[in-house]
Structure 1
């Protein structure tokens, strides 16, 4: 399929001659310094209704025009429906409420907070904010090609959306054209995939980019296999997750999600539909395995390694400081830190939370879960027992609830909580703490003090004791900070629901210069995970891509010289800025070139 392109059938010609002609404007060169911003409604170059109608016809009538935010049913107007609003409000925090919607983003803070159910957050009216104006509900590569060509030739901002999972709001953009890839749902099992250059010979799955974790895990289970993907059940595994690296409950055994990729089907910025693998477009293949989604092209299908299914053991438990006091509580957490390296080296994945309650002064530890793929009940108990003994010696009581499952799928389905989304007054920063942070008692003490200080500053923390093995010395764009990682740590900053824009920005900036800077200072040269991070992360090129960033910038220029694709904190995004209407880091504003 290498080199396969519908351009030969005249798509680019159709876009330039018919679409642009119907606008009455000259084709926009989005790389030109004279075009400071992308094209927006009201601009002379904004495509006419006739142009959009032609795009709709060419995409088999799959163009959605001004899709309404779901919460429109809660506000006065033709869509008002009190019963639907009440139902929506009840389920607003569940990812299942949002992933099958053409425009909804699971981060309202990144969207601009312009249309939420009033009982969740009263925006007083419902406006589109950071949502797109047009959406192509793509089901074939040609639909993607047409959207890319249209955006490139007209200068309209283009965004790519799958499920809307992203802390930073990369699937949104005010008054943009969105290509919605959620319905690329094919799953094909390949009994034996061979790539001599990659050194792989074995089973694989080729899946459309709209396939989600709960779908691919079930399909793999049915074949007696397991696939590396995230713990969140509704995440689109083959979209931004896998292109950004992607940590997994199987990473300590097999590496990141991007390490599993054998091939991409992708539409590039010039509208061509190509294959990127070890021998066809290998530089694009390198970049898309870890260099970030919606940056070098639009993937429509991905082929990944399939691993043998395996028995798995999981443990879920918790304890609090309520009866034992804060000093004993933190002593218990400190004992756990001693086992981060051996647990990760044993191939396990621990997902745990540190939850502060500043009102009561009580701190909570929640293991949700300790996940041990390919380990028996006895092996897992033996691994955990030294830590459990020390907790018991401290007088900390808990029920380890160690449970064995016959398959990875059953363990995953039973052990991980459903994602909580739509947080209205919080954002999350993250840091990868490498092995060096745990090799001495002094460094482990320092790590514990950092975590404790963040909890005392009212930061909810989510942690993953995990390493990302480097399978066969994979040569890809995965952030090199993943390789020595032992603890991937997140902490969230919150602000009053009724805070002003200026107050929110100040709180977020102080968070970066305070708690997040402490974490950075204690892990020099490490990094952050681009999909679970803060838009205000300083020096994002180094943090999210490490030493790969210079090469990724070169490949961005090669494969997308006109910056057809943009996502905040993505490769090359420093050339652009969303000029939000409230001055906050969100998608509610025009995307314009940064001027010096």
Structure 2
């Protein structure tokens, strides 16, 4: 959205008048980047591509950990599929298997946008020195560089053909601290409990160490297989963000390899602008994060959930249900205890998938009782799934053995021989494994829409949106209603400022089954995908009539967002661009719609 003619204007003028200036300003953003020492990156077979001897030297420099990734689906011939193909097809819905494949990503593609394709080479980094060697090699040889940890990027930033991949999956060490102080912050920063995690750690690893074993809490993501580093750099919302803020705001310190191959410690006292940019500025744009240290918190006694579904018998009844549930949310759930989501469907069904912290089961049931009594008293409503409310000791919320014993239906396990016992996935997240996206959009909805004078407009917009496609309100991904100290910490991040004023992130998407290249079958149904994407667009357009300038969450956003600078970062973008110019003046780090990407072609190979 936020293009401008001069850098001075970007700093001096309000952003809003430029928000819809259009594509004519795209080159203005690119023009603010320093003159590059090269115009194009090198592809395999082109002059300048490293020789076999040079690749062999890199292999020695990284202790033999240089790979040429091959998709396990490459051998899926109709006549005689090989063992790798058979295993891949068997494990297609196992995110831990996909994450262990350097050639695969957790999303298999997006219609008319991108398809998961392996890099030409990959460094399977085990330590920071491996990352330094890869970054230096890519810079010296003008290679396209890609960074992958968890591999969950909807935007396709976890891979790129003809590139060198820095794969951090095996950098997954975890250390707990009773009293951590950032490097250089001695005497300026109070010691605090914290956890340090390697860039390749997943959130299930963090929760197992910090909560199940350590009895404390770290703010992270809801999906257990998401990478720690990617989530923090993109902002980082979890199920309990209404209480604990964002993962980015919880960052105390990061170790990062910048484009010059230098290892830097970024915190509030050392490289503070880089530190700020890493807190929500998007993964893969400012450097390769190799280690993060996050603050930990006291664990509440209980975590819990409320889930079920209610169906209305008519459109009129569904509109009334939307009004009732939004009033109920505003009066009883709009506080630090509650998070997660409600979904609104074209078939007049309301799906409830909420979580809570710090309440007993009896207290949570008491909160919900008046709303459920209202539903039961009206014949136009029925429970498609009876609302269930459960609570459990918070220490067991990510305890795999606890769920195996008491509630195995809620989890999916990594069943491969030798898999870590803590590697589980919430059953509700399995549908996302390997999915092929048809369309996806998100928007932060301001809390002012919940007030009485505006709520009727919100309800009408929600009803109109539900006629086009199902959408969900993720209440934990808007921080309005959070404690003041968490709001202040979130404001000191690069994430779009609108999330602090939002009561929820509205999300709407459509997807199909996995569609990795080489898989048997007809491949994705692109005609259906385009129809679905159009429905997603109509739904969000209807909803956003009450929030026309709402920003969106970079990790869960539209690949085709034209005005991505302000959609993703709002008034923070000029400052982010300044950080980018300082730490990566030649644009070594490039991701789709990442900071500074307007200076490059869509594939990241040619300077504009």
| TM-score (structure 2 length as normaliser) | 0.80
Q: What's the CA shift for 1:153?
A: 1.3
CA contact (8 A) 2:465 2:542 kept: no
CA distance in 1, matches of 2:75, 2:56: 27
- Structure 1: unaligned runs, 5 residues or longer: 1-29, 116-128, 357-361, 580-589
Structure number with higher relative contact order (C-alpha < 8 Å, ≥ 6 residues apart): 2
Q: Residues 33 and 554 of structure 1: is their aligned pair in 2 closer, same or farther, counting only changes over 3 Å?
A: closer
Distance 1:438 1:283, change over 3 A: same
How far apart are the structure 1 equivalents of 2:325 and 2:201?
36
Structure 1 residue 372 corresponds to structure 2 residue 387: no
The 8 Å contact of residues 354 and 363 in structure 1, kept in 2 or not, is answered as yes
1:268 positional shift: 0.7
Could you tell me how far apart the structure 2 residues matched to 1:266 and 1:401 are? 44
CA contact (8 A) 2:126 2:171 kept: yes
> Does the aligned pair in 2 maintain the 1:460–1:493 contact within 8 Å?
no
Q: Tell me, yes or no, if structure 1 residue 473 matches structure 2 residue 481.
A: no
Q: SS of the residue aligned with 2:598? A: helix
Go from structure 1 to structure 2 and tell me whether the alpha carbon gap of 1:266 and 1:486 turns closer, same or farther (over 3 Å shift): same
After the TM superposition, which residues 541-580 of structure 1 pair with which residues of structure 2 at under 5 Å, given as runs?
541-579=565-603
Partner of 1:242: 232
The answer to whether residue 422 in structure 2 is matched with residue 435 in structure 1 is: no
Q: Across the two proteins, how many residue pairs are aligned to each other? A: 528
1:587 aligns to what?
none
Aligned equivalents of 2:43 and 2:535: distance in 1?
34
Match of 1:217 in 2: 207
Name the residue aligned to 2:255: 265
User: Who is 2:218 aligned against?
Assistant: 227
Contact 2:232 2:280 survives alignment (8 Å): yes
RMSD of the TM alignment (CA)?
A: 3.0
For residue 607 of structure 2, what is the aligned residue in structure 1?
Answer: 593
Q: Does 1:341 align with 2:330?
A: yes
1:245/1:113 Cα in 2 relative to 1: closer, same or farther (>3 Å)?
closer
Shift of 1:162: 0.6
Shift of 1:518: 3.5
TM-aligned CA deviation for residue 354 of structure 1: 3.3
Greater Cα shift, 173-182 or 376-385: 376-385
Give, in whole Å, the separation in 1 of the partners of 2:605 and 2:263: 26
Matches within 5 A, 1:101-112: 101-110=101-110
How many Å separate the matches in 2 of 1:48 and 1:383? Answer: 67
Indicate the residue corresponding to 1:453 in structure 2: 464
CA–CA separation in structure 1 for the residues paired with 2:291 and 2:259: 17
For 2:524 and 2:200, how far apart are their aligned partners in 1?
A: 37
Distance 1:437 1:201 in 2: 40
* CA offset digits 1:169-210 (Å, max 9, x no partner): 110111100000111111111011246798654211011111
Structure 2 portions without partners, runs of 5+: 1-32, 404-409, 411-425, 514-521
Partner of 1:517: 541
User: Counterparts of 1:136-535 in structure 2 under 5 Å?
Assistant: 136-194=123-181, 200-221=190-211, 222-237=213-228, 239-321=229-311, 324-342=313-331, 343-356=333-346, 362-368=347-353, 370-395=354-379, 396-398=381-383, 399-410=386-397, 416=426, 417-419=428-430, 420-424=432-436, 426-440=438-452, 443-457=454-468, 459-466=469-476, 467-468=478-479, 469=482, 471=486, 473-474=488-489, 475-493=492-510, 508=533, 510=534, 514-535=538-559
With normalisation by structure 1, the TM-score equals: 0.81
| Contact 1:111 1:172 (8 Å CA) reproduced | no
User: What is the alpha-carbon distance in structure 1 between the residues aligned to residue 531 and residue 595 of structure 2?
Assistant: 26
Deviation at 1:62, TM superposition (A): 0.5
Cα offset, 1:302, TM superposition: 0.5
Q: CA deviation at 1:97?
A: 3.2
- 8 Å contact kept, 2:313–2:348: no
Question: Quick check: 1:429–1:490 contact (8 Å CA) kept in 2?
Answer: yes
1:70-109 alignment to 2 at 5 Å? 70-75=72-77, 80-81=81-82, 85-86=85-86, 88-109=88-109
In the TM superposition, residue 350 of structure 1 has moved relative to its aligned partner by: 2.6
Alignment deviations for residues 65-107 of structure 1 (CA, whole Å, 9 cap, x no partner): 2x11122242269x932x6545533542342331121121122
The Cα shift of 1:296 comes to 0.9
Deviates more, 1:336-345 or 1:201-210: 336-345
CA distance in 2, matches of 1:194, 1:456: 52
8 Å contact kept, 1:133–1:175: yes
Cα deviation per residue 1:280-326 (whole Å; 9 max; x = unaligned)? Answer: 111111110111111111111101011112223423432353x7344
- Displacement of 1:218: 1.1
Query: Does the 8 Å contact 2:474/2:506 carry over to 1?
Result: yes
User: Offset at 1:569?
Assistant: 1.2
Hey, what does 1:69 align to over in structure 2? 71
SS of equivalent residue, structure 1 residue 488? strand
8 A contact 2:444–2:506 mirrored in 1: yes
Q: Summarize the Cα distance change of 1:53–1:193 in structure 2 as closer, same or farther, 3 Å threshold.
A: same
1:91-125 residue CA offsets vs partner (Å, 9 max, x unmatched): 4234233112112112222498998xxxxxxxxxx
Secondary structure (helix, strand or coil) at the match of 2:289 reads: strand
Distance 2:334 2:591 in 1: 32
State the shift of 1:46 in Å.
Answer: 1.2
Q: Which of 39, 56, 65 in structure 1 is aligned with 2:59? A: 56
Contact 2:113–2:559 (CA<8 Å) still a contact in 1?
no
Contact 1:140 1:184 in 2 (8 A): yes
Partner Cα separation in structure 1 for residue 114 and residue 573 of structure 2: 34
- Matched residues in 1 for 2:313 and 2:438: separation? 30
C-alpha distance in structure 2 between counterparts of 1:502 and 1:404, whole Å: 44
Using the TM superposition, give the Cα deviation of residue 455 of structure 1 relative to its aligned residue in structure 2, in angstroms: 3.0
Q: Is the 8 A contact 1:319 1:366 kept in 2?
A: yes
Q: For residue 219 of structure 1, give the secondary structure of its aligned residue in structure 2.
A: helix
Give the distance between the partners of 1:401 and 1:303, measured in 2 at CA: 37
